[in-house]
Amino acid sequence: MNTLLPLVLLGTSLLANSEKHSLTYIYTAASKPSGIKGIHEFTAMGLLDSRMIDYYDSETQKKVPKQPWIKRLKPAGYWSKGSESRKREHEWLKININFLLERTKQDNDTDSHTLQWLHGCDGDLHPGSNMILGQVMDRYSWDGEDLLYFSNANNEWVAHSPVALPMKMMWLSDTALSVFTKGYREKECLGFLEEFVNCEQEDLKSASPPEVYTFKRNARVETNTILVCMATGFISEDTRVQIKQDGRSVTRQDGLMTGEVLPNGDETFQTTVHVEILKSDKSNFTCEVFDVATKHSLRKFWEDEPSKSPVGLIVGGVVGSLVLVLVLIILVKILKKSGERHLLLVMKTCKVL
């Protein structure tokens, strides 16, 4: 019995040291054009760990790379074939939209309806080992309501709504679709995930570190001052930005305020944190940034030569994010009833468009 203990501990250690990665594709098709500039009848995007790696819409009708490493990785033929594939996927969704409109007897003349398809997989990458498949995702939503999803536990499609039952039966009887879907779930998705992660990680080794700015603002109370730390140019939204006081992390209970993570428009992000302190406080305050993607770690003191507030960078990020507001609202409506995990994913997606 005791001989099992080292094996259990070893397995636990491997799991703790593994990295979780995901590859997800999101296709969104509307029943008719919106007439709004920038809101397309069909869009498709690929996401690696919530960062966009490719994009397609029905206006340009071209699948394009959104990360430099994947552009170098895949030849021109990959993108032209991908464009043709996206056209077929648009047609596939349009067929199902027409079917749903007939089944639900919904009016498409006055209201636009949306069908969204999300599929992909995640996996654990262990040091010195191959990617191990985790969960496979495949689900459809109609006007914000869950429609169909594939149950990995039961290896079958599950209909959330009575209107989806005929679709489920049609898909089960389509042998070609079943073979393709099974192959993608069991092999192809994991292969792409591992290939993309390895290539991206090589690319990240040469990535520039974020820029960190520390400056002070006047507080409403004359005896106080506000310490502001801004980090910009980081790649992962999970990047940690924190203020420390004599080595101790300042928390919300201490009055720490954390800003939103905003896109810079070049596939990087920015954010700010600040805290109000007494001007008489003699503690050593530092701003510490850790970019999860590149593993860059930076520290800056407020005792350093004062830097001006990078207003241009902040405004640029805010202006860029305004373009995404409408897309965010629509996508949230589309998936408002879907699983929380997938809704969070789509909300993250909007920040990297």
pLDDT at 353: 33
Residue among 327, 317, 233, 231 nearest 271 (CA): 231
Tens digits of residue pLDDT in 292-307: 878 889 999 996 444 4
Residue 108 vs residue 302, higher pLDDT = 302
d(CA 287, CA 303): 11
Nearest one of 76, 87, 88, 184 to 133, comparing CA atoms = 184
Res. 1 pLDDT band, cuts 50 70 90: very low
CA distance 159 to 176: 20
Whose structure tokens read 């008489």? Answer: 280
Residue 250's CB is within 10 A of a number of other CB atoms, namely 20
How far is it between the farthest Cα atoms of the chain? 75
Residue type, 166: P
CATH architecture of 19-205: 2-Layer Sandwich (3.30)
Using CA atoms, how far apart are residues 59 and 11, in angstroms rounded to an integer? 49
Which pLDDT tens digit goes with each residue over 144-179? 899 999 887 777 888 988 889 988 888 777 777 777
Look over the chain and give the mean of its residue pLDDT values, rounded to a whole number. Answer: 80
- Each residue's pLDDT tens digit, 269-299: 899 999 999 999 999 999 999 988 788 899 9
Superfamily designation of domain 211-309: Immunoglobulins (2.60.40.10)
Q: Which helix (H) or strand (E) holds 200?
A: helix 189-204
pTM score, two decimals?
0.69
- Six-digit token string for 243: 């203020």
pLDDT tens, position by position, 173-216? 777 777 777 777 778 899 999 999 999 888 887 788 899 999 99
In the chain, what are the domain boundaries?
Answer: 19-205, 211-309
Long-range pairs of 300-305 with CB within 8 A, sequence gap ≥ 24: 300/212, 300/213, 300/214, 300/229, 301/214, 302/214, 302/216, 302/227, 304/214
Burial of 30 (0-12, 13-18, 19+ CB in 10 A): buried
SS3 228: strand
How many Cα atoms occupy the beta-carbon half-sphere of 101 within 13 Å? Answer: 18
